[in-house]
Amino acid sequence: MNEFLWPVRVYYEDTDAGGVVYYANYLKFMERARTEWLRELGFEQDALRDEEGIIFAVRAVEVEYLKPAHFNDLLNVSVRTLRAGKASVTLTQAVVRDGQTDPLCLATVRLASVDAATLRPKAVPGRVARAIAQTEQTAAADSSATYIE
Amino acid sequence: MNEFLWPVRVYYEDTDAGGVVYYANYLKFMERARTEWLRELGFEQDALRDEEGIIFAVRAVEVEYLKPAHFNDLLNVSVRTLRAGKASVTLTQAVVRDGQTDPLCLATVRLASVDAATLRPKAVPGRVARAIAQTEQTAAADSSATYIE
Amino acid sequence: MNEFLWPVRVYYEDTDAGGVVYYANYLKFMERARTEWLRELGFEQDALRDEEGIIFAVRAVEVEYLKPAHFNDLLNVSVRTLRAGKASVTLTQAVVRDGQTDPLCLATVRLASVDAATLRPKAVPGRVARAIAQTEQTAAADSSATYIE
Amino acid sequence: MNEFLWPVRVYYEDTDAGGVVYYANYLKFMERARTEWLRELGFEQDALRDEEGIIFAVRAVEVEYLKPAHFNDLLNVSVRTLRAGKASVTLTQAVVRDGQTDPLCLATVRLASVDAATLRPKAVPGRVARAIAQTEQTAAADSSATYIE
């Protein structure tokens, strides 16, 4: 998986009186894509929480807003693994209008694997870590994209 | 307390590309007012949950959208007790622009007191029920407002 | 089209600290389904606004919350035409967990067709009205569902 | 004005099934504080848009999530001017639980002043620029806070 893509339609709920997608809502779109990326890798987050006792918490985000998205736009939100650590994963994500190439929004997102009860760092379970590491290797081989860092 | 009022400022987050407050967001404003109304009566919802094991869950809402609210508007959201039952409370709420009298939005909201763990109906704790019943009596004495039912 | 169905996945953004979908967010799910229902009928809302000068504004909603939806649930949101008027449409909508039949949430939603600039009532354009009227006829023939009214 | 503070109460709408404030919602809290900071400086954003033809658009954010906020928490959100340019302003913002000192969330937010119609860069109006520049000078004199950059 070089790059995972998840389609997101812009509804009225996502826009603001400026006529464009409200800046906080891109973080919702990105979290949807991350959830679907994990599902594609074979992991349901409710099962990870209930069976492995871990949840992925966002520790830091860096977001660049380049061009606005509008009501009714169909967007594609990407997920790429930048670094996978023992109890953390750093991803880069882009929001691109369907059929276009220039990103509207770029982000780097640092996730921590934490204990679902105590919220303290807890190692990513082995099979999850291995699946994510594989996306990292493929991502490293592809140098076509530039992201904020 | 004839009628409880809670001020709400409209920020960009609340509006949509139509230039007005998004219809679902009035329900957020109304829940903020209900939370502050309970606080005014002396009850913190996190304490009710942690100490009495109950939460108030919304069972039904009826909302009429009469006029739009806009970015930067200062609104007042009211709470009135229509009926207080053993494990339920029905409230009427209105959203009015500050300094005006015509409501922008009217609602009837039926809440159920439920067990925080099982989400099954559970009687409103006595001291909470008594405090709410008192707001009901005063509301009944005041017939100036008409609400949807 | 007896009944239009639109799938909605529950993400963290949709839930609250009670562990369930926040009550206002069902209105977002329902609006997504209405948007996709209109698209299925052949109408893009941004084109209706820009070319015909009309938008559909919600005038009233009645919502019954029957059972909670949870994080990661896959839901289906239905749209059925109850009544189609000159400048208004009344729909019934249900939210059902995928693979189940009992609704979690039922709603009746009254929409007004309004001028995009003045927000005053404006007749639904003919071709849109005809397409909606057809969904009304089929819905009338099917009496299997009971909705709040 | 060394540092502007705006109180924000956490309601159910702000939390997620993890029991904490949803990560995107801190951006809403921060925008509320920025709006009130501009109001405190004497500027209403709807007047700036309607009379001066400018809006402040977010170009970039960097957010660090340090500790979670919970339902019913009372938070204080700060605004500090880091740099004021011709058509841009960079602010640092912190979210702190009322009565505490350790931040839950820190952010750097870069705003661009843009033409309300074209969304292209447009110089901050003189009187607004002067008011913001004054907050910059005072902030510079106070070196007690460390923020992410």
pLDDT, tens digit, 9 for 90 and up, residues A12-71: 999 999 999 999 999 999 999 999 999 999 999 999 999 999 999 999 999 999 999 999
The pLDDT value given to residue D35: 98
Give chains near A: 3+ CB pairs under 8 A.
B, C, D
Q: Is D16 at the interface with chain C, CB within 8 A?
A: yes
How many whole angstroms separate alpha carbon A30 and alpha carbon A35? 9
Chain A window 84-143: which residues touch B at a Cβ cutoff of 8 Å? none
- Per-residue pLDDT tens over the stretch B33-53: 999 999 999 999 999 999 999
Q: Does C11 touch chain A (CB under 8 A)?
A: yes
Whether A119 sits inside 8 A of D28 (CB atoms) is no
Residue D129 lies in a domain: yes
- The ipTM is 0.92
The tally of domains found in chain D comes to 1
Burial class (CB in 10 A: 0-12, 13-18, 19+), C85: middle
Residue C25, amino acid: N
Average pLDDT for B90-94: 98
Annotate D41-65 with b (16+ C-beta within 10 A) or e (fewer): bebebeebbeebebbbbbbbbbbbb
D147 falls within a domain: no
Q: Which domain holds residue C10?
A: 4-141
Confirm whether D131 is domain-assigned: yes
State the amino acid at position B88 in one-letter form.
Answer: S
CATH at C31: 3.10.129.10
pLDDT for the residue numbered C146: 45
Asked whether D119 and A68 are in contact (CB, 8 A), the reply is yes
Please check whether residue C148 lies inside any domain of the structure: no
Contact list, B109 vs chain C (CB under 8 Å): none
For residue A67, being part of any structural domain is answered with yes
**Model confidence at B143: pLDDT above 80:** no
User: Is A105:A64 a contact under the CB 8 Å cutoff?
Assistant: yes
SS3 (DSSP) at A102: coil
Has residue C149 been placed in a domain? no
CA D22/CA A57 separation, integer angstroms? 10
Nearest CA-CA partner of A147 in A89, A86, A61, A25: A61
Name the 3-class secondary structure at C122: coil
Catalytic residue (choose from C16, C50, C98, C142) = C16
Indicate whether B47 belongs to any domain: yes
State yes or no: pLDDT of D148 exceeds 90: no
Among A10, A11, A12, pick the best mutation site for testing chain B contact (most B Cβ within 10 A): A12
Could you give the percent of chain D with pLDDT greater than 90? 87
CA atoms within 13 A on the CB side of B5: 12
D83: phi then psi, degrees, rounded to nearest 5: -150, 140
User: Least CB-CB distance to C18: which of D12, D22, D70?
Assistant: D12
pLDDT range class, residue D136, cuts 50, 70, 90: confident
> CA–CA separation, C47 vs C50, rounded Å?
5
What is the C-alpha radius of gyration for chain A, rounded to an integer number of angstroms? 16
Assess whether C115 carries a catalytic annotation: no
Which is more confidently placed, A145 or D85? D85
Residues 6+ apart with CB under 8 A from C49: C55, C116
Is C118 among the domain residues? yes
Which residues, other chains included, contact A25 with Cβ-Cβ below 8 Å and sequence gap of 6+? A14, D24
From chain B, the residues in CB contact with C57 under 8 A are 18, 65
Is the per-residue pLDDT at D2 higher than 70?
A: no
Which chain A positions have a beta carbon within 8 Å of C12's beta carbon? 31, 35
**A58 has a chain D CB within 8 A of its CB:** yes
